[in-house]
Structure 1
């Protein structure tokens, strides 16, 4: 199949019956401003190309080239929000891109016309970031410039070129707290908005966004008696995003699960008055930024290594199931086995609950009543 040819400026398409249709952006001086213009040419493709070349000479300087900020706000952002409404992407993805825009794209290229963004500038910009930030930022830049190419205000997308990416930084410290250290942190957090999110993360292996979206009023929290212990069972079925919005679904359906909190923390979970498990006292859930602030302050007061409270219990279930005792604990984000493995075994068997007794050591799988 012949590859479709694309004009360097404007478009030249077959209109049938020996005619061609050319389109281009121009200000014709008729008071209608800069807009897309269409002309029909009788003749060959070459005839239409010649006319398009003349129109380019006449109108190429008409274009009010947008800055990257204008293209982001006027074109890319509305399109992405429409995609969210259609369910094609998650709102949390927009939060990630918005963060990359504010931290990396806007300071470097926000005020530049999109035609003034050069490959050498992009390369130097990428090498000044971490590997993960660079990958996300170049992806966003490419999407914005793709819209500019589509609207014919840019001839080519410079972000589509292959660039030398920064190397992954040397592995950071594991960011592991032992069980004893975890209990010290939880004790320091007691009475703050970060206490219950840290309990659900450090004991129940929840993400912060999942814990902040648990609702007492919606019946997400219930008590279960088993083997002389009162357990708190929290149903994880929704999530809070970075901007505070609550989404009535998780990343995928397999992420929905019950989380079991044993004593002594179960009493604090069950005592939450609601309507949200992590309520601010005014009927609204705590915000991620406030939780993060309290978490980091607690670590600083205890003189402990700073680790993010994102998924700090990656290996809690795994280590307890193996009887690792104090070798496991509260971990930083993205350490340990895959998330699916962690949730499948042992905290989520279909009819049983895994609970660690007061004595420590090994995990006991106990049937739940009620």
Structure 2
């Protein structure tokens, strides 16, 4: 490929890019569909104002165009003035650098806002030029940071394959873990229970029975979702967000835009008492996975969170033949519910050699710790030992 035919540009709003052009590289037919990479999702975050300069999420997306072919690569990128809403925690790095007299913020982040879901970050269609276009995207991001005295570039929740490529390119790789449920061809929840040890199987049945007492559960998706549903869910979301984060990341407009654009990719699960919703969970439906995002309740009760977020999600995944349920960040309590540890990856370029060296040493130790913990947990899953 003749690199001179490539044009690399920075765009500060997805309004500058045609939705179909972005989606052609974000979700090519050769890749499993990822709703979080779609123009519709990312632009909704911008249009609703939650991913904006005012909130510390200033869009700085990189696009690569090829003469005569238009958009051939893209990288969702944000200039961040803080580390909130990322789920890869670098506050200690920022504190150390600031104490030493440096300025950690602003920094560059390639990620999906407020969403700890693994996916592609250098968006390129497969083909003979794919590697060179990917390299151009990374090179442009590093150059933006270096040329503008920006402390660092962070690429969060990238795939394991891309983590290896970025490590080979000189970036520092960080690992963590989440808990995912995997569908082994189950035709029912009872099929899933059958592969658990007897004690765990009994515990899960008891939990479901306890959580479901006096309640009914509904799965709402597509054109069934109304603004009334969003009003109810937003109340749940604000309650949980205010308690967990202090300031919830999304606003009411965010949910309306997502419902308008991505209704077929959304699953709302409501728990109802006497016909009135008392709890709910928002999930996104990918090509082969269900992605749990937010939950809340106005009537806390035992096991309701597990039922609404985990077991109902498994029911839906089995009914749709989805391979995986990803129930969000962290949560060792998911292990007993059949969700197993999976490694997540991020990659980091740090301009200051001293800080980069210190972070590299830290990450070496942290990776070993993550691996030990994952191995420990995998030996303690609820599945039958003979299976």
> Quick check: TM above 0.5?
no
Q: Which has the larger radius of gyration?
A: 1
Whose RCO is larger (CA < 8 A, sep 6+)? 2
More strand by share: 2
TM-score (normalizing by structure 1): 0.30
